[in-house]
Amino acid sequence: MTLIVAMTDEKPRQRRDARRRRPGFQMRISTKYAPRKVADGQSRSCIKDTSLTHEQMLELYRYLKLTRLVEERIVNLYRQTKVVGGVYRSLGQEATAVGSAYALRADDFITPIIRDLGACFVKGIRPREILAQYMAKAWGPSGGKDLNVHFGYMDRGFIGPISHLGDMIPVMTGILLGARMQQKDIVGLAYIGDGGASTGAFYEGMNFAAVQRLPLIVIAEYNYYAYSTPTNLQTAVRNLAEKAAAFGIPGYIVDGNDVIACYEVTKQAVDYARTGRGAVLIEAKTYRRKGHAEHDDQRYVPEGEIEYWEKHNDPIDRFERFLLDQKVAAKEKLNEITADVQREIDEDSEWAESSPMPEPEGAVYGVFDNSIVPPAFRPRVLEK
C-alpha cells in the first residue's frame, strides 16, 4: 500500500493517524519539484509556477551571486595563505541553500552545513563576518576561535554547526521543543549531506521531531559524494527522501539546482510545519563540483562528470536564463547586481583583512561561563 502525501488543511493530524494504523504503511515521496529531463538541444531553466515577485527573484539572484563570489574571494585569500584551515565550496549547489532559506521568516532558525554559505547570507550574515571568520581574525564572529560556518548567534536564529555530522538534527529538534514550550511558532531548517544522513544522530533527531510533530524541516543535499565516497556506496536508498518513511513524515524530492523550486517546496514545508503538522524531509538533488575541500584534487571523480554539470546544470546559469526569458530583468540589470555584489565583497574583504589577529588570552573567554569558572583558574587567566 502506498500513501501519497498531500498537503491539505483539513484535519491533517487525525487523517494521518488513521493512515498510520493501516497495515503495510509505506510512504510515497512527492516528486512534483524533482529534476526533469530536458529535450536534446534545450537548456535547463527554472519552474515558472511561483508566487515570487520580480523583486524577490532579483534578491535571490543577488544571494546566488554573493555566495559564488564570496567563495571565489575566499579561495583567492587561501592561495595567499591568509585563510586558516580548509576552504569548503558550494559551487554548483548554491540554489539549494539560497532558495530554501529564503522561505523562512526572520525569526525562524537555521543550522547550515559547510555547503550552505548561501543560507547564511539569506539569514543576514554579512560577507565580512565570513571573511574574517575564515582568516581567524579577532573581528570575526568567533573571534578566531573557530573557522568557516562554525559560529552562531542565538538571537539571530543562526545555529552554527559543529563538525560531527548529523548532530545538529537533534540540536535543532531540542530548540524547537523549547520554542514550543515557550509558545513560539518558529520553524527550524536544518541541512544535512547525503553522508550525514547515514549517521545515528540524524535518525534519532528525526525520529524525535517526527513523533513530537515538531516544526523541523530538513534539507538533505544529495550531491553525489561524501568526501570521496559516492552516495551509492554508503546508503542503499536511491533517494534520500525515502528515509522519510522511517519516521512517518512527508518526503519531497526537489531539483536542488532550480532556485525557484527549492524556494517553493520549502515554503510548502514551512507552512505545513508552522501549522502544527510536524516535520518534513526534503531531498535536494544537486552536485558538488569541487572536492570536499580546496585541497582535494577529485581524482576519484569519473572523467567528464564535473564538466557535464558545469555546462548543463549550473544553478546560476539556469536562473539567469529564466530571468532573461521571463523578462524579469535585462542583462544590464543582472550585471549591475553583480557589480554591486563585487563592490560589497571588496569593501568587506578590506575590512576583514584590516582586523587584528586575536589576543592569545582571548582563548579562555567565551568558552565557559566565566562567572562559574572554578575559582582556581580565576586569578591566573580570567581576572588578570
Ligand X SMILES: Cc1ncc(C[n+]2csc(CCOP(=O)(O)OP(=O)(O)O)c2C)c(N)n1
226 binds Mg ion (CB under 5 A): yes
* Nearest distance from C-beta of residue 152 to Mg ion, angstroms: 23
The smaller minimum CB distance to ligand X, of residues 71 and 320, is found at 71
Binder of residue 163, out of ligand X, Mg ion, none (CB less than 5 to 8 A by kind): ligand X
Is 88 or 158 the residue whose CB approaches ligand X more closely? 88
CB of 221 to Mg ion, least distance (A): 6
Residue 284 phi, psi (nearest 5): -105, 120
Q: Which does 146 bind (CB under 5 to 8 A by kind): ligand X, Mg ion, none?
A: none
- DSSP codes of every residue in 116-161: -HHHHHHTT--HHHHHHHHTT-TTSTTTTSS-TT---BGGGTB-PP
Chain residues binding ligand X by CB under 6 A are 113, 115, 163-165, 193-196, 199, 221, 223, 225-227, 288, 292
**Residue number, nearest CB to ligand X:** 193
First to last CA, the chain: 69
Q: Which does 164 bind (CB under 5 to 8 A by kind): ligand X, Mg ion, none?
A: ligand X
Minimum separation from the CB atom of position 198 to ligand X (A): 8
What residues form DSSP beta bridges with 110?
158, 189
The grid coordinates of residue 71 equal 567563495
Q: How far does CA 162 lie from the centroid of its chain? A: 14
Comparison of 310 and 344: residue with beta carbon closer to ligand X: 310
Contact partner at residue 251 from Mg ion, ligand X, none, CB < 5 to 8 Å by partner kind = none
Nearest by Cα to 243 from 262, 218, 265, 260 = 218
Among positive and negative, which fits the CA dihedral 46, 106, 162, 341?
positive
314/320 with CB nearer ligand X:
314
Residues 327, 305: Cα–Cα separation, whole Å: 32
Q: Which residues bind Mg ion (CB under 5 A)?
A: 193-194, 223, 226
